[in-house]
Chains A and B, each alone.
Chain A
């Protein structure tokens, strides 16, 4: 079974609008961390936001927030007030507390339309 599933290969959003990128995960470890990364067309991987499984509140970092629904095993990334520079590939990832590997989804390509 896939550890991380991103079901949206491509998304479009109007500039200044909010957008939600979906991520579901699969683990039986009660302790885990969830991460989102951005990969612009230049290719580098940029860390955006982290959510721990025991965190009581949803993580936020500037315009990025993580909609963490533990019972549904989902960790959706919300980008508010989209900007043209947000056009990129976005990857969801997980690391289990007792584990040694990071698992990545297949990514969502976001295009912001002016």
Chain B
């Protein structure tokens, strides 16, 4: 089944404890990205990647890192999480690296709580 898989679904952690949220897609998509969803703010893009070893900042990159060593994987790293990073996170992928036509396919989300 074609899908984007992100883990874990739920994560509770403490301030400053490094964590990684994994994301993997099996559709051979070129484009992958991370979003955070907060009430009243919609989805905001954190980072995106157009290809292996090519990543760039979205609108809210502060406090996050990503890497794209393989086409299928795009982990999100929080080196030192803070309470303002408590949010619902989505990984998504799209067939084409540029252009308007390919929709995003989303993972099921990771609800992160930082205390």
A→B interface (CB under 8 Å): 4, 6, 9, 31-33, 35, 37, 43-45, 47, 50, 52-53, 91, 93, 95-107
Given contacts A33-B100, A52-B101, contact A107 B106 (CB under 8 A): no
- Secondary structure of the B contact surface, majority rule: strand
Residue pair A95, B108 in contact (C-beta under 8 Å) = no
Residue pair A47, B105 in contact (C-beta under 8 Å) = yes
The docked-state distance in angstroms from the alpha carbon of A6 to that of B42 is: 10
The docked-state distance in angstroms from the alpha carbon of A47 to that of B94 is: 12
Given contacts A33-B100, A98-B98, contact A104 B44 (CB under 8 A): yes
Residue pair A102, B108 in contact (C-beta under 8 Å) = no
Given contacts A100-B48, A100-B50, A106-B40, contact A47 B108 (CB under 8 A): no
The docked-state distance in angstroms from the alpha carbon of A33 to that of B103 is: 9
Given contacts A100-B98, A101-B48, contact A47 B104 (CB under 8 A): yes
Residue pair B104, A35 in contact (C-beta under 8 Å) = yes
B→A interface (CB under 8 Å): 31, 33, 35, 40-45, 48, 50, 56, 58-59, 88, 90, 92, 94, 97-101, 103-106, 108-109, 111
**Nearest CB of chain A from residue B81's CB, rounded to whole Å:** 21
List 19 contacting pairs A-B, 8 Å CB cutoff, sorted by A: A31-B99, A33-B99, A37-B104, A37-B106, A44-B109, A45-B90, A45-B104, A47-B103, A53-B100, A93-B104, A99-B98, A100-B56, A101-B48, A101-B58, A102-B33, A102-B104, A104-B35, A104-B42, A104-B43
**Nearest CB of chain A from residue B104's CB, rounded to whole Å:** 6
The docked-state distance in angstroms from the alpha carbon of A33 to that of B101 is: 6
B residues in contact with A98, CB < 8 Å = 98
Residue pair B106, A45 in contact (C-beta under 8 Å) = yes
